[in-house]
Amino acid sequence: MLEVLNINNIIPYQLLAVSMGGNNDQAEAMLFPDSQKVIRDIAKSSDVSFIDTDNLVDNINKRKELYEASAGSKPISMFVNIGGASANYGNTTASITYPNGLIMNGPKIPDNPERGLIFEYQSLNIPVVHLLNIRDLALKNGIPIDPIPLPEEGQSEVYFESKYQKWIIVITIIIGIMYLVLARNINSKYK
């Protein structure tokens, strides 16, 4: 998908690393019995770093090291989590209740090494965009789910346009000027 987006000049980003995903980031509980082997082979051939550890804390730390090395001297300004990858989402009861959307001041940070990158970056006062329960996020923001027919591009309720009534602005300015002139005249009479 990323290669297609690059070719079509939609986004300029390249992969930093890949992992197997799934439970414990080890392709556990996948649909096919040979999923781990297939995913591991694809990941190894991807020509980028391959995160392949069954220890969640090591996985969290490896990702954080990669992100910081990639950022170099620039500070990380936001962490985006899409889905419930164990290393990002964590393996704590607090992870389950982590709110959706843009999180500037999140919930209490658990004192658990498996708390996940959402909490790691929150602890550094870095905003987190957490996209896990998309249906809930859409409903809370008035975005229709699977509308029929699909809205035209740029026409859904997500987009809005502010229009100001120019006549109200002109009248307000005239009233303001009249008030200032009147106040000046009254002030000059009492001097």
| Residues 150-188 pLDDT 10s | 777 766 666 666 677 888 888 999 999 998 988 888 877
- What's this model's pTM, rounded to 2 decimal places? 0.69
Chain-wide mean pLDDT for the chain?
A: 86
List pLDDT tens digits, range 18-75: 888 777 777 777 777 788 888 888 887 888 888 888 899 999 999 999 999 999 999 9
C-alpha separations of 158 from 7, 139, 141, 149, 152 in Å = 28, 12, 8, 16, 12
> Could you give the dihedral angle defined by the CA atoms of residues 133, 136, 138 and 144, in that order, rounded to the nearest 10 degrees?
120
List pLDDT tens digits, range 110-139: 999 999 999 999 999 999 999 988 888 888
